Structure 1
Amino acid sequence: MGTPPRSWSATSFRRRTPMLLRVIDTETTGIPDEDDGHALVEVGCCDIVDGVVGTPRSMLVNPRRPISVGAMATHHITDDDVENAPPIDAGLKMLMEGNPDYFFAHKAEFDEQFFGAGGATIICTWKAALRLYPDSERHTNQYLRYELGLDVDRVLADPPHRAGADAYVTAHLLHRMFDDGASIEDMLRWSKGHPLFPKIGFGKHFGKRWEDVDIGYLNWIIGTEDMDPAVKANARHHLKLRGR
């Protein structure tokens, strides 16, 4: 993958030891909601050390509860697959091995529900992708894999929706983001805020770029009580850009 550009981190190049960046991914028994937090069935990770993307690792874990049909239809992990797997704590321990300097995940808020990384922030490559590739039709890691022409080993990158393979693809996406000028500091800042959507995804302006929407509509979004907070944040952002 070559030598990392200085934009990766201003501090990493003053260190004598290589910086360890760990991309993680999780597969679960279902999508957590207010009534059901669900549980892990697989964890995976892929490291970037000194600018080089490594080989992904993964581990099936026993959630001690049934896997939903919807989840099985996505990742194809069944109850039989995890019946004799190690406990969830073993998988979480694997993700922490080596004391990584930073953790990354695509849509990190999902993974954070299952993996707290010892209280550390998991940097969100999805939020970074929204900023760096606003003209992309979609911002999933697998879509960007092909749109950006990421140089992945297909044996390691497939199948999608498995923790090791997805972590590997996201690690290559992260490397590309660094090459395209993003720094860890940028991504930390973006991860702490709401996602910045390139286009409006609802209503009469569906599909329009935010900058093409009139000020009145932006104010309507902000004043609508049950509007998604992330959408309101986008409206405020674009009003600020216009000096309002």
Structure 2
Amino acid sequence: MAISANSARRRIRVIDLETAGSASHSVCEIGWQDVIQETTGRWELDEERGARFVNPGGPISTQTMAIHHIVDEDVAGAPFWKDVAPQVLRPTGGTVALAAHRATFEQRFCLPRLSGGARWICTWKCALRTWPALPSFSNQGLRYERMPTGLDRAVGLPAHRAMPDAYVTAHHLRDMLNASSLEQLLAWSEQPGLLPRVPAGPDRKRPWGELGDDALAGYARDRDMDIRFSAETEQRRRGNQAAVPENAVIQPSLL
């Protein structure tokens, strides 16, 4: 359904963070890419994207430098997180949500007082629901499994830098939004991840539906929230109405 050309277009800001990897594990770079809803109702990438270095308040570990190649000299004169975050997380014109791949990581740093209490979409959790047959659900794995339309290879590189990673994630988000509603993605993101297959152990890679009731009951007691939720969901599908509440468990919000 088309939206009014006179109404403000809905905007979601995709976020990616790189951190120092030291004891404080503080942010050293933030990148973003916006996805907007056109007047036709379809979602597309906007031209708004960027990245900013952040002073992490301490040295970057050499192990982390080897991943993202950000060195101490890059961030020495950069502003601190408390000053950068609100500017990026609360863009002019506002957003209807923030998004990230495995968003619980970004939410550890993008606290409600910095983000304005924005709701989050986790593209990892939504990928589990949207493309359950895929073998990998990492951001880069989805990139090459799916080869999203319009993804400029040069803009999406180097991997493990904040803006290129946010740009790649935004292509996944665009396609998810054009397959499901914004409200559905938000709801999925507020639940644990619904894994399509057992992730580890003797039943690794087996769909939950292939497991016997006893094995399934064991996974329903697992310490991992996503495994437990996935097993309980299969129990419910089999008719065990006590396995999962009718409104599935919502993850506690981060303070």
Please, what TM-score do these two structures have when normalized by structure 2?
0.83
1:66-145 to 2 correspondences below 5 Å:
66-92=59-85, 93-98=87-92, 99-116=94-111, 117-145=115-143
SS of structure 2 residue aligned to 1:157? coil
Residue 119 (structure 1) shift = 2.0
The structure-2 alpha-carbon separation of the partners of 1:223 and 1:171, relative to structure 1 and needing over 3 Å to count, comes to closer
The structure-2 alpha-carbon separation of the partners of 1:173 and 1:87, relative to structure 1 and needing over 3 Å to count, comes to same
Any conservation in 2 of the 1:44–1:95 contact (CA below 8 Å)?
no
Higher relative contact order (CA closer than 8 Å, sequence separation 6+) = 1
1:209-224 to 2 correspondences below 5 Å:
209-223=207-221
Measured on the aligned residues, the alpha-carbon RMSD in Å equals 1.8
Deviations 1:146-175 (A, max 9, x none): 211112112211111111111111111111
Residue 223 (structure 1) shift = 3.9
Residue 132 (structure 1) shift = 0.7
Q: 2:3 aligns with which of 13, 18, 21?
A: 13
2:50 is equivalent to residue 52 of structure 1? no
Amino acid across the alignment from 1:44 = G
Structure 1 stretches of 4+ with a deviation exceeding 3 A read none
Alignment match, 1:3: none
Provide the rounded CA distance (Å) in 1 between the counterparts of 2:90 and 2:194.
30
Alignment match, 2:163: 164
Residues paired across the two proteins, number:
227
SS of structure 1 residue aligned to 2:56? coil
Select the structure that is richer in helix.
1
Any conservation in 1 of the 2:177–2:185 contact (CA below 8 Å)?
no
Q: 2:29 aligns with which of 25, 33, 42?
A: 42
Any conservation in 1 of the 2:96–2:119 contact (CA below 8 Å)?
no
Alignment match, 1:9: none
Deviations 1:213-240 (A, max 9, x none): 111111122345xx22221111111000
Any conservation in 1 of the 2:199–2:205 contact (CA below 8 Å)?
yes
Alignment match, 1:235: 231
Amino acid across the alignment from 1:156 = V
Structure 2's unaligned 5+ residue stretches are 241-255
Alignment match, 2:185: 187
* Identical residues among aligned pairs (%): 35
Deviations 1:64-97 (A, max 9, x none): 1111223212111111211111222332122322
